[in-house]
C-alpha cells in the first residue's frame, strides 16, 4: 500500500503522512522528501502527523531509519506527532527520544487525529500528548 502525503488542512501548517498496510522505510523517506518540498516555500516550520491508523507492522530498523526521516524533516519541522500507533510503535517513540534527545524532543504520540490537531491549535492541555 504505502505512504500517502498531503496537507492535513487548508492552513498549510500540518502535513499528514498516512501509513497504509505494509510500507517500507524507503517509501517513508520519499514521503519525508515530499514534505520538505512542500515546506520549502513557507516561511514557518510545519507540523507532521504520522498516522498509523491503517498501518501494518513496523518494518525492521526503526531507530536508525526513523532518525534518517526526522533528520530530513528537521530544518522545516516544528513537531512530529505519531497518531494511533500500537504499543510497540509508542515504545519505539520513547526509545527514540532517549537515544536521540536532540531529535526526540520534537516527537510526540497521541491516540487520535483530533487530539493532534487540537494540540497544534494550542487548545488542548499538554498532557494530551505523550513522550
List, as one string, the DSSP characters of 10-32.
TTSSEEEEEEEES--HHHHHHHH
Indicate the range of 18-22, 27-31, 86-90 predicted with least confidence. 86-90
Percent of all residues in the chain with a pLDDT value above 70, rounded to a whole number = 92
Rounded to the nearest integer, the mean pLDDT of the chain is 91
Is-contact 122 19, C-beta < 8 A? no
pLDDT-derived band of residue 122, with 50, 70 and 90 as boundaries? Answer: low
Ordered structural domains, the chain, with CATH: 2-128 (3.30.750.24)
Percent of all residues in the chain with a pLDDT value above 90, rounded to a whole number = 83
Amino acid at each position: 500500500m504505502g505512504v500517502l502525503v498531503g496537507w492535513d488542512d487548508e492552513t498549510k501548517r500540518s502535513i499528514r503522512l498516512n501509513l497504509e498496510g505494509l510500507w517500507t522505510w524507503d517509501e517513508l523517506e520519499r514521503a519525508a522528501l515530499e514534505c520538505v518540498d512542500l515546506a520549502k516555500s513557507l516561511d514557518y516550520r510545519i507540523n507532521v502527523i504520522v498516522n498509523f491508523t491503517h498501518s501494518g507492522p513496523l518494518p525492521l530498523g526503526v531507530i536508525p531509519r526513523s532518525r534518517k526521516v526526522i533528520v530530513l524533516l528537521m530544518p522545516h519541522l516544528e513537531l512530529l506527532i505519531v497518531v494511533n500507533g500500537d504499543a510497540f510503535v509508542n515504545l519505539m517513540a520513547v526509545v527514540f527520544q532517549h537515544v536521540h534527545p536532540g531529535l526526540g524532543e520534537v516527537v510526540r504520540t497521541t491516540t487520535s487525529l483530533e487530539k493532534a490537531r487540537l494540540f497544534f491549535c494550542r487548545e488542548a492541555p499538554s498532557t494530551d500528548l505523550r513522550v
